[in-house]
Amino acid sequence: MEHHRACHLCEAICGVVIEHDGDRLTGVRGDPDDPLSRGYLCPKATALVDLHHDPDRLKTPLRRTAGGDFEPVDWETALALTAERLAHARRQHGPRGVAFYVGNPTVHNLGALLGMQAFGAALKSHNRYSATSVDQLPKMLASLQMYGHQLLISVPDVDRCDLFIVFGANPLVSNGSLMTAPGMKRRLDAIRARGGRVVVFDPRRTETARVADEHHFVRPGTDALVLFAMVHTVFEEGLVRLGRFAHHVADLDTLRTLAREFAPERTEAVTGVSASVVRRLTRALADTGRAAVYGRMGVSVTDFGGLSNWLIEVLNVLTGHFDEPGGMMFSSPAADLAAVGTLLGQRGSFGRIRSRVRGAPGFSGELPAACLAEEIDTPGDGQVRALVTLAGNPVLSTPNGARLERALPSLEFMVSIDPYVNETTRHAHVILPPTFGVEREHYDLAFHGLAVRNTARWSDPIRPREASQRHDWEILSDLSARLAARGNPLRERALRAAASVLTPARIVDLALRAGPYRLTRAKVAAAPSGVDLGALVSVMPGRLQTRDGMIPLAPRCYVDDVPRLRAWWASAEARDPSQLVLIGRRGLRSNNSWGHNSVRLVKGPVGCTLRIHPDDAKARGLAQGDVAVIASRVGEVRAPVEVSDEVMRGVVSLPHGWGHHREGVRMRVAAAHAGVSANDLTDDAALDAMSGNAVLNGVPVTVTRAEGATASV
């Protein structure tokens, strides 16, 4: 039998056809009729099958015993205990005392995405964290500052673009991020086939760089200087082309003044990108009708992620590639999360709250994830004493995860809503495992809104869940009702009744009806491969949400951050040239920290290796297969060495999401391919001070040879 649905493992949301014989999934292939993915599939899709049948995946709630082990308990016991302990912690320690960390899979999970809103409200925590601040926060901040809404996220119209300039993204491996565009190889090939060009700026000659027309090494963390140099060139060479936005932008003169000091001839020594490259590409950008500048993780999680993301938006606006076909456009989703946000008064906010210990800025009610450990291990009023994690693994995914790992056992109570006992959840007192993948219904509320083509697709579950299982949204709404009722049974009953009416399916239906195409859930569900709603269309200035309807080109927070960039620039010029810096790397068969329990995904060459340039290796007496000791301010790990000139001199690359050797982890396949955690090296003290985003790239490290050890790579 065949079951059509969306792959929920990454942002590409590929249409898949799952082959099954009732209870057993037997295979997965790309759905050729899906209007967005058109049959494309990556190797990770096999995890949909493998993890479905994974014997380590939890089906029953677990409770920690006095001896420190876990025992299975029934749902009523687990949920009642959780609600009681959370309410108790809140009473004892106040709204800051209970923290809530929300991980990445939530965005790929309709029920969790919706359920966490109500749960967050019921928990009333003033200590919220998510993977946003180790990822795309600076892009959302730029949207909020310039377009007035954190979810008005511009995406490259790759299918009509003739010059695609990429800063710090590797879509051939990541399959695209803040750019839902399955099959990027095909789409990039198409740009080149129509005579267009692809240009990549990356400290590593990545899989994407290899298929591009041009690749330029850029020193990690220096993109803001390259981008400022491009803005400088736009002004200096008279390349401003505002087109129909000429009367919709503000602060053009402020921007011009700010960019003055960043002549490409001055930035090249530190960035490694020559002035001639900057000038030539800036001219090409301004002179190409359909062009886009796009940036992702590589520019986001650096010391100047905020400035870099702002400057990328600015460049597109300045050169006439904002909201124009082939440029950076906006999707028009059938169910519009941004519109719902506006309706609820949630356009986003910045700097309204500050973290207790170091005063780091909050974004949309969240504090930087890099602050979580110190909020737990620093005594005082407002100290975090209880924690809820939902679909997150911050021990492996946030900077200085080892510090968090040391802090978690001190919590009075911790609950994890998660299908695995992993590096983070093993510290929980209660683990509540939800349904997974094909077991639940699905609609990509977030990713249709980031897609390079407007489509809509509803996925039914393969069968109703077992009576012994709970969906994420059921777990969340149950806990919400118990917490919000505060012991009043009548109230609790009323809240449960409301939740049983306003199910995720019902909410999607309402949002579709209210959306621009006036669809219904039934209409979308009638097309199991999805509904095609056409290419992206221009929507601005109509959808701008800024108060005055203008696009400010120089918002205050960025202007105020320029002196910090200037100071850093001066110090970088004086830098010791032998100092290595660490960057990350994603693998095609790896999915953040939680795909490694699939046998088919971990087989083959070792994933967790340190890549180092031949000259840097030689200077340290390192050869292929040696084990290197990599040390940073916060920690030290050992990894096998791969000597390769694909990384630029002075840069080493280690993937994140590994390090499954930790005691108590119940993921047998992953533990047998443990690797080490890059986030035992990244530094929780190093934030993009302006935005509060984590710094995961450009981390200073030393690398030495581990005596007597070799490894097979």
Ligand X SMILES: Nc1nc2c(c(=O)[nH]1)N[C@H]1C(S)=C(S)[C@@H](COP(=O)(O)OP(=O)(O)OC[C@H]3O[C@@H](n4cnc5c(=O)[nH]c(N)nc54)[C@H](O)[C@@H]3O)O[C@H]1N2
Residue 315 near residue 308 (C-beta atoms within 8 A): no
**With CB cut-offs between 5 and 8 Å by kind, which of ligand X, ligand SF4, Mo ion, none does residue 45 bind?**
ligand SF4
Of the residues 3, 4, 9, 200, which one makes contact with ligand SF4 according to CB under 6 A: 9
Which DSSP category does 597 fall into? T
Q: Enumerate residues 184-213 that contact ligand X by CB under 6 A.
A: 201-204, 206
Of the residues 220, 326, 552, 640, which one makes contact with ligand X according to CB under 6 A: 220
Residue placing its CB nearer to Mo ion in the complex, 135 or 441: 135
Kindly state the number of chain residues that form the binding site for ligand X, as judged by CB under 6 A: 65
Kindly state the number of chain residues that form the binding site for Mo ion, as judged by CB under 5 A: 1
Residue placing its CB nearer to ligand SF4 in the complex, 8 or 232: 8
In the three-class reduction of DSSP (H, G, I as helix; E, B as strand; rest coil), residue 615 is classed as: helix
CA quadruple 23, 24, 25, 26: dihedral positive or negative?
Answer: negative
Q: Enumerate residues 148-187 that contact ligand SF4 by CB under 6 A.
A: 175, 182
CB of 13 to ligand SF4, least distance (A): 5
Binding mask 25-44 for ligand X (x = CB under 6 A): -------------------x
Token representation of residue 416: 């994890």
**With CB cut-offs between 5 and 8 Å by kind, which of ligand X, Mo ion, ligand SF4, none does residue 125 bind?**
none
Work out whether 82 is an interface residue with ligand X (CB under 6 A).
Answer: no
* Helical segments of 408-471, H only: none
CB of 226 to ligand X, least distance (A): 8
Residue 583 Ramachandran class (φ > 0 left, ψ -120 to 50 alpha, else beta)? beta
The one segment of 36-44, 316-324, 365-373, 630-638 that binds ligand SF4 by CB under 6 A: 36-44
Distance CA 229, CA 265 (A): 9
Work out whether 296 is an interface residue with ligand SF4 (CB under 6 A).
Answer: no
Q: Enumerate residues 683-702 that contact ligand X by CB under 6 A.
A: 696-698
Of the residues 13, 417, 612, 617, which one makes contact with ligand SF4 according to CB under 6 A: 13
| Residue 314 Cα distances to 93, 242, 296, 455, angstroms | 44, 11, 15, 28
Residue 713 near residue 605 (C-beta atoms within 8 A): yes
Distance CA 398, CA 696 (A): 9
Instruction: Give the end-to-end CA distance of the chain in Å, rounded to a whole number.
Output: 40
Residue placing its CB nearer to ligand X in the complex, 25 or 169: 169
Binding mask 123-142 for Mo ion (x = CB under 5 A): ------------x-------
Work out whether 684 is an interface residue with Mo ion (CB under 5 A).
Answer: no
In the three-class reduction of DSSP (H, G, I as helix; E, B as strand; rest coil), residue 307 is classed as: helix
Residue placing its CB nearer to ligand SF4 in the complex, 25 or 41: 41
Q: Enumerate residues 370-429 that contact ligand X by CB under 6 A.
A: 390-394, 397, 417-420, 422
DSSP 399-450: TTHHHHHHHGGG-SEEEEE-SS--TTGGG-SEEE----GGGS-EE-TTGGGG
Of the residues 3, 4, 20, 44, which one makes contact with ligand SF4 according to CB under 6 A: 44
Residue 66 amino acid letter: A
Work out whether 11 is an interface residue with Mo ion (CB under 5 A).
Answer: no
Query: Which residues, including other chains, have CB under 8 Å from residue 441's CB and lie 6 or more apart?
Result: 110, 111, 458, 459, 460, 461, 504, 505
Residue placing its CB nearer to ligand SF4 in the complex, 182 or 449: 182
Question: Strand 699-710 relative to strand 580-583: parallel, antiparallel, unpaired?
Answer: antiparallel
CB of 449 to ligand X, least distance (A): 16
Nearest CA to 421 out of 109, 664, 105, 679 is that of 664
At how many degrees (to 10) do helices 472-485 and 75-93 cross? Answer: 50
CB of 40 to ligand X, least distance (A): 14
Question: Strand 651-653 relative to strand 580-583: parallel, antiparallel, unpaired?
Answer: parallel
Binding mask 459-498 for ligand X (x = CB under 6 A): -------------x--------------------------
As beta bridge partners, residue 19 has 2, 27
Binding mask 571-610 for ligand X (x = CB under 6 A): ------------xx-xxx-xxxxx----------------
Work out whether 18 is an interface residue with ligand SF4 (CB under 6 A).
Answer: no
Query: Which residues, including other chains, have CB under 8 Å from residue 82's CB and lie 6 or more apart?
Result: 415, 430, 432, 479
Residue 652 near residue 703 (C-beta atoms within 8 A): yes
Nearest CA to 361 out of 695, 139, 684, 690 is that of 690
Distance CA 305, CA 328 (A): 19
Residue 241 near residue 317 (C-beta atoms within 8 A): no
**With CB cut-offs between 5 and 8 Å by kind, which of ligand X, Mo ion, ligand SF4, none does residue 41 bind?**
ligand SF4
Question: Strand 291-295 relative to strand 163-167: parallel, antiparallel, unpaired?
Answer: parallel
Binding mask 119-158 for ligand X (x = CB under 6 A): ------------x--xx-----------------------
Q: Which residues sit at the interface with ligand X, rule CB under 6 A? A: 10, 44, 103-105, 109, 112, 131, 134-135, 167-171, 173-175, 177, 201-204, 206, 218, 220-221, 223, 296-299, 302, 390-394, 397, 417-420, 422, 434, 436, 472, 583-584, 586-588, 590-594, 656-657, 678-679, 682, 696-698
Q: Which residues sit at the interface with Mo ion, rule CB under 5 A? A: 135
Q: Which residues sit at the interface with ligand SF4, rule CB under 6 A? A: 7, 9-10, 12-14, 41-42, 44-45, 175, 182
